[in-house]
Amino acid sequence: MGFELQGNRSGYSDAQLELMDSLHPLLDKHCPRSRIRGLIEDNNSATPDPVWTQLAEAGWTSLLYPEEAGGKGLGIAEMSAVLVEAGRFLLPGPFFTSAVLTPLALAAAREGSAADLPGIGGVASGQRIASLALYEDPSVFPTPKIEATVQNGHISGVKRFVLDAAMADVLIVLAKDGSGDLVLAWVPSPAPGINVLVHPTMDGRRICTVTLDRTIVAKTLPVSGAGLQKLMLRAAVLVASLQIGGAESALALAVEFAQTRVQFGRPIGAFQAISHRLVDLYCNLAVGRALVQKAIRLADDDAFPDAASRAKTWMNDTYRAVTKGALQTFGGIGFTFDHDIHLFLRSAYALGSEFGTSTDHHRLLRPATRAA
């Protein structure tokens, strides 16, 4: 990864730093940016990127799964640190949906144990891939409007913006049961009635539309409205963690360039127009990092929803601002496909619409409440 900015390690516990440091060499070796560039050109693969197997073998996929399901039983503080590191490398799916969203969703279930789900052990270990199908219209945040229905052990409906569904061994589908209550349906895939369409996307994520037509459901878990809200906001904070990492990398690229690119007889970072822009981006990123860390700290507190929305909103705006400013710093070369900086620009706009746009979170924050 090379050059790293001061401040990337601020505010984390020793345990969090150890996780980051431990994950770093694996991603450095197995997650080159050329892979991400490749996914932007063609994201329609049936198999996961090689880094997924490495992560599974090294035990990273089981972090959030409960111990009784074969996982490590860790929490979002640990996963946040892991995702900051993952964000630094633009880690592609299915890690986020299989190792983060899925265990978060299962934890939101009102009753029933994740341990009872068939094949859960394989999902936790990374031998199998799970994909969470939440939305039918993701512009409705945080309370998705659900039409998909489970009846007599079969599920029908259309789910959209499902990550990595085409390579999933099981879909976890948010649906209604016969009484209209919310459930999570454990749906092995592929299976009769399932049709998956992978969309071409700006950042190479495999966003899928999944059509289900009387597909067999292996098991359902009831989920409460409150549980769902908690899932959405926790996911938002974890996306914000990815955003921190991505912003750090983008900014580091720009700063390194400003140190070395010579024009008018000196490195361009010697000009205040360049250096001041980078400083402002750096400072805003520092505030964003602190807001995410605060939200993580308040994960079990009444103040969490407020803190989560602030963290996500701030990082939405800051990741975008950092990547735009970074690209501008590169001048002409920043406009080329082969240069890496646009990968972060795409990521910033992608993650800025995942689990709440700034507008969505502003709506939640007004009347503006202040953390105690």
Partner 1 sequence: MQRLQLLQPEDRAFYEEACDWLDKHLPPFVAAHRGSERDTDAYLQMLKDWQAEMASGGWVGVDWPRQWGGRDATGLQKTLLGFALSERKAPPPLWKQPADQVGPPLLRYGTPEQQQAFLPAIIRGDWVWCQGFSEPDAGSDLASLKTRAEPCEGGYLINGQKIWTSNAYFATRMWLLARTDSKAPKHHGISAFILDMKSPGVTVQPIREITGRHTGRQLFNQQFNQVFFDDVFVPQFNRVGPENEGWKVCKTTLVRERTSSHNLDFARNTMRALRRFLDDPLIQATNENPEAVFAERMLQVDMTIDGLEELFQQSLQAILSGKATGGESSILKLLGSETRKTAAELALEVLGPYGQLMGGSPEAFKKGNAGFEFLRSRACTIGGGTSEIQRNWIAEHVLGLPKSSDLAD
The identity of residue 227, as a single letter, is G
Q: Which residue from 133, 239, 255, 322 is in contact with partner 1, where contact means CB under 8 A?
A: 255
Q: Which amino acid is at 118?
A: P
Min separation Cβ 185 and partner 1, Å: 37
Chain center to CA of 322: 18
Q: How far is the CB of 319 from partner 1 (least distance, A)?
A: 15
15 is a site residue for partner 1 (CB under 8 A): no
4-12, 66-74, 148-156, 209-217 -> range binding partner 1 (CB under 8 A): 4-12
Q: How far is the CB of 365 from partner 1 (least distance, A)?
A: 6
The correct pick among 288, 334, 352, 356 for binding partner 1 (CB under 8 A) is 288
Judged by beta carbon, residue 128 or residue 294, the one nearer partner 1 is 294
The DSSP letter of residue 143 is S
- Cβ neighbours of residue 143 under 8 Å, at least 6 residues apart? 225, 228, 229
The residue among 10 and 113 lying less far from partner 1, judged by its C-beta, is 10
Determine the interface stretch with partner 1 among 113-121, 163-171, 268-276, 334-342 (rule: CB under 8 A).
268-276
Could you say whether residue 287 binds partner 1 (CB under 8 A)? yes
Using CA atoms, how far apart are residues 363 and 247, in angstroms rounded to an integer?
25
Q: Are strands 170-176 and 130-133 parallel, antiparallel or unpaired?
A: parallel
**Which region, judged by CB under 8 A, interacts with partner 1, from 14-22, 281-289, 326-334, 338-346?**
281-289
Provide, rounded to whole angstroms, the least separation between the CB of residue 292 and partner 1.
9
The CA angle 128-224-107, to the nearest 5 degrees, is 35
Instruction: Give the x-and-dash track for 295-324 against partner 1 (CB under 8 A).
Output: ---------------x--xx----------
Measured CA distances, 175 to 36, 100, 146, 148, 232 (Å): 32, 20, 6, 5, 15
What span, in angstroms and rounded, lies between the C-alpha atoms of 348 and 328? 15
Rg, Å, the chain Cα set: 20
Count residues contacting partner 1 (CB under 8 A)? 38
- What the block records as the tokens of 119 is 């094949």
Residue 92 or residue 142: which is nearer to partner 1 going by CB? 142
N residues, the chain: 372
Residue 46 as a binder of partner 1 (CB under 8 A): the answer is: no
Q: Which long-range contacts (CB under 8 A, 24 or more apart) does 317-321 make?
A: 317/352, 317/358, 318/243, 318/247, 318/281, 318/284, 318/285, 318/287, 318/288, 319/243, 319/244, 319/246, 319/247, 319/347, 319/348, 319/351, 319/352, 320/348, 320/349, 320/352, 321/281, 321/284
**Residue 144 has which token pair?**
């998705």
Report the residue number, 227 or 325, with the smaller CB distance to partner 1: 325
Contact flags string 183-222 toward partner 1, x per CB under 8 A: ----------------------------------------
Minimum gap (Å) between residue 287 Cβ and partner 1: 3
Tell which one of 125, 209, 275, 328 touches partner 1 (CB under 8 A): 275
Cis peptide before 144 (omega within 30 of 0): no
Pick from 29, 199, 214, 276 the residue near partner 1 by CB under 8 A: 276
Residues of this chain that interact with partner 1 (CB under 8 A) are: 5-7, 10-11, 255, 258-259, 266-267, 269-272, 275-276, 278-280, 282-283, 286-288, 290-291, 293-294, 310, 313-314, 362, 365-368, 370-371
